Amino acid sequence: MAIRVLLLAGALLAFACSHGATASDPSHLQDFCVADKTSPVRVNGLACKAAKEVVVEDFYFSGLHVAGNTTNKQGSAVTAVNVAQIGGLNTMGVSLVRIDYAPFGLNPPHTHPRSTEILTVLEGCLHVGFVTSNPENKHFEKVLNKGDVFVFPKGLVHYQYNNRTTGAVAIAALSSQNPGVITIANAVFGAEPSIPAGITTKAFQVEKSTVDWIQAQF
Ligand SMILES: *[C@@H]1O[C@H](CO)[C@@H](O)[C@H](O)[C@H]1NC(C)=O
Ligand SMILES: *[C@@H]1O[C@H](CO)[C@@H](O)[C@H](O)[C@H]1NC(C)=O
């Protein structure tokens, strides 16, 4: 009896550790698990292709030399290379992005719920920063030049701004096959259906007309 209770407690603890206390991409138990995008099986990640069907292209992507189109309101473009582009990234816990910035382009405040990010500037100069969680909400900011590297810790709100009259380019690696992106302004003011005005006015301590005006921008 005592042994059974002990085993149960052990199993529960193992479950809590793998499902609650840590939240990161799972460690892989095989050489690879190339995503089988045709599989109807739904798991945390993607089902694996049969190993004998895996080809070298499953680990390959071409195109990061191509600049993203920055003709948009923010003046920035993110080209992602994650498990959606490279099936071989399934269960590997990493991915990449190229970010292009027009003059005065902004990659607006956002967070990656599943990923730390390490970014390096290939061209130009970027004013970057992140903000820690409550209650401190401490803002760490830095101006980066070509070749500089900066880390945005997992889950924290961060941004990059090109404070120059010439374009900028950065490459960033992320610690998830599928980092996810939550752009703060879009989530709060661009939600569909919208968050009721009474909630946003109280949260931001502004008039309803201000909220309406911001919502109209999305
Ligand atoms: C870039 O995006 C803008 C706005 O969507 C579009 O008008 C333009 O044709 C695009 N440029 C290229 C080179 O794709
Ligand atoms: C832009 O650059 C100017 C000159 O270096 C600096 O005074 C200003 O604070 C910068 N603004 C931002 C938002 O980075």
- 58-112: per-residue pLDDT in tens? 999 999 999 999 999 999 999 999 999 999 999 999 999 999 999 999 999 999 9
Ligand 2 centroid vs 122 CA: distance in angstroms?
A: 20
| Cβ atoms of 159 and 105 closer than 8 Å | no
Ligand approaching nearest to the C-alpha of 77: 1
pLDDT in tens, 30-56: 889 999 989 988 888 899 999 999 999
Ligand 1 centroid vs 1 CA: distance in angstroms?
A: 69
Ligand approaching nearest to the C-alpha of 72: 1
Amino acid at 30: Q
Query: What residue ranges line ligand 2, CB within 6 angstroms?
Result: 127, 161, 163
Q: Where are the domains of the chain?
A: 56-180, 182-218
Ligand 2 centroid vs 124 CA: distance in angstroms?
A: 14
112/180 Cα distance (integer angstroms)? 5
pLDDT in tens, 179-215: 999 999 999 999 999 999 899 999 999 999 999 999 8
Nearest-CA residue for atom 2 of ligand 1: 71
pTM of the model: 0.85
> Is 28 annotated to bind ligand?
no
In the CATH hierarchy, which top-level class contains the domain 56-180? mainly beta
71 lines ligand 1 (CB under 6 A): yes
129/148 Cα distance (integer angstroms)? 14
